[in-house]
Amino acid sequence: MSVNYDPSKKPEITTEMVNLAKKLNLQLVNIICDEEDAQVGDPTGLSFITMTAFLPRPEEQIILENGSVYQVKQIFFQQTQVDRNIILFPNIYSHLLPK
């Protein structure tokens, strides 16, 4: 749906994304994938918006298409805007696990 290589950037959500998630009865979430000791501005992280039936919990794992495994560390909600509506959007913060 949306990929960003600056994990600190606010998620950009469109009305179409919200409507599709509602139609499929799913929740939009921003998944933030980072490395353990990364600093702001390091080119190692990425974030992406996706749809899910549930929010992953801390310590659960997320496996990406390339086989990288990330462990959920924190869930937080961030204020963002869709059209003229302000919403709280779930963010799943995760760290890369060593291979």
Report helix, strand or coil for 18. helix
Question: For the segment 26-69, what is each residue's pLDDT rounded down to a tens digit?
Answer: 999 999 998 877 666 666 778 899 999 999 999 999 999 989 99
d(CA 75, CA 23): 24
Residues contacting residue 48 through CB under 8 Å, at least 6 positions apart: 1, 2, 3, 4, 30, 31, 33
Global confidence as pTM: 0.83
Query: In this structure, are residues 75 and 91 in contact, taking their beta carbons and an 8 Å threshold?
Result: yes
Tokens of 68: 């990288």
> What pLDDT is stored for residue 40 in this prediction?
65
